[in-house]
């Protein structure tokens, strides 16, 4: 069975288009076949990809990819601009001005990926908090959505966001893996919840599987977080462990299997949500 057969079998949305709101397309694992990856996403009926910016340099690369492929894939690639907590220790004195300049481009649709990660502490917690505070304030200044990261830091993360709930047009909890209580708090503020292939792993994703049905469809977003978090539900199993956007339908199928909601309804509503949050056009309209 070839690759096209695999993605076709995973795609039950021939008359609907999906949007992947979290793709690390600047990752070096895509260097050899990036254009093919984008083409396979289109073949799998995805109508748009949002490339994640995780540092100033990676955000610049993300925008460059959007511009590079605009002619061949018009209205298909968009990106975020921000600094991930892992990179907080490495910001320069002018990083906010650099993010502000990037955000002026029409293909940049959110500030982030930003937040707090006290699980690994690749950057000092105090510096993470400082850089996060500054990016939240920047999103409010620019009236742009926030693309958010949080791991083992929910209370300070939520405390930082709370004063800005009425100042920022949308907040997206990217790759949500939190508890029922954390989900409830996020939803109470009308936050959007990004679901990844973590849901497809019963070994470590069971808590998420138990609560995903609590997410209202009008707050749900779907993402691969490629090249990470390849859905374990793909059959036959891909030869490569690398995740990519064309696998997004497997996440929708798993949400449908757990919640009992028609997968086409999930596909349609999450695409509407993505267009509303990030204000972008796509090559296909659901």
- pLDDT tens digits for range 145-199: 999 999 999 999 999 999 999 999 999 999 999 999 999 999 999 999 999 999 9
Q: Assess if residue 283 is contained within a domain.
A: no
Q: What is the mean pLDDT of residues 6-30?
A: 77
- Domain residues for the domain of 30 are 3-278
pLDDT digit string, tens, across residues 85-125 = 999 999 999 999 999 999 999 999 999 999 999 998 999 99
CATH code assigned at 91: 3.20.20.140
Q: What is the DSSP string of the chain?
A: --HHHHHHHH---TTS-EEEEEE-TTSGGGTTTHHHHHHHHHHTTEEEEEEPP-SHHHHHHHHHHHHHTTTTSTTTEEEEE---GGGGGG--TTHHHHHHHHTTSTTEEEEEEEEEETTT-SS-HHHHHHHHHHHHHHHHHHT--EEEEEES-HHHHHHHHGGGTTTSS-EEETT----HHHHHHHHHTT-EEEE-GGGG-TTT-HHHHHHGGGS-GGGEEE---BTS---TT-SSPPSS----GGGHHHHHHHHHHHH---HHHHHHHHHHHHHHHH----SS--
Total domains in the chain come to 1
Q: Assess if residue 285 is contained within a domain.
A: no
pLDDT digit string, tens, across residues 232-279 = 999 999 999 999 999 999 999 999 999 999 999 999 999 999 999 999
Q: Assess if residue 63 is contained within a domain.
A: yes
């Amino acid at each position: 069975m070839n690759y096209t057969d695999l993605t076709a079998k995973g795609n039950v949305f021939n008359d609907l288009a999906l949007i992947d709101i979290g793709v690390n397309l600047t990752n070096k694992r895509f260097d050899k076949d990036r254009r093919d990856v984008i083409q396979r996403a289109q073949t799998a009926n995805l109508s748009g990809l949002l490339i994640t910016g995780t540092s100033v340099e990676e955000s610049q690369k993300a925008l460059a990819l959007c511009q590079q492929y605009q002619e061949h894939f018009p209205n298909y690639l968009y990106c975020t601009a921000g600094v991930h907590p892992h990179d907080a220790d490495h910001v320069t004195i002018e990083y906010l001005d650099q993010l502000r300049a990037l955000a002026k481009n029409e293909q940049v649709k959110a500030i982030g990926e930003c937040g707090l990660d006290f699980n690994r502490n690749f950057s000092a917690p105090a510096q993470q908090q400082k850089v996060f505070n500054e990016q939240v304030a920047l999103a409010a200044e620019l009236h742009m959505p926030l693309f958010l990261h949080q791991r083992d830091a929910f209370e300070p993360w939520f405390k930082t966001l709370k004063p800005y709930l009425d100042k920022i047009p949308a907040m997206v909890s990217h790759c949500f893996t939190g508890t029922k209580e954390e989900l409830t708090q996020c939803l109470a503020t009308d936050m959007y919840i990004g679901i990844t292939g973590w849901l497809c792993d019963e070994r470590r994703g069971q808590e998420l599987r138990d609560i995903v049905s609590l997410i209202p469809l009008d707050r749900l977003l779907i993402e691969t977080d490629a090249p990470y978090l390849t859905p374990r539900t793909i059959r036959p199993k891909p030869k490569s462990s690398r995740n990519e956007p064309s696998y997004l339908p497997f996440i929708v199928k798993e949400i449908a299997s757990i919640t009992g909601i028609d997968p086409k309804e999930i596909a349609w509503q999450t695409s509407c949500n993505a267009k509303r949050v990030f204000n972008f056009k796509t090559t296909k309209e659901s």
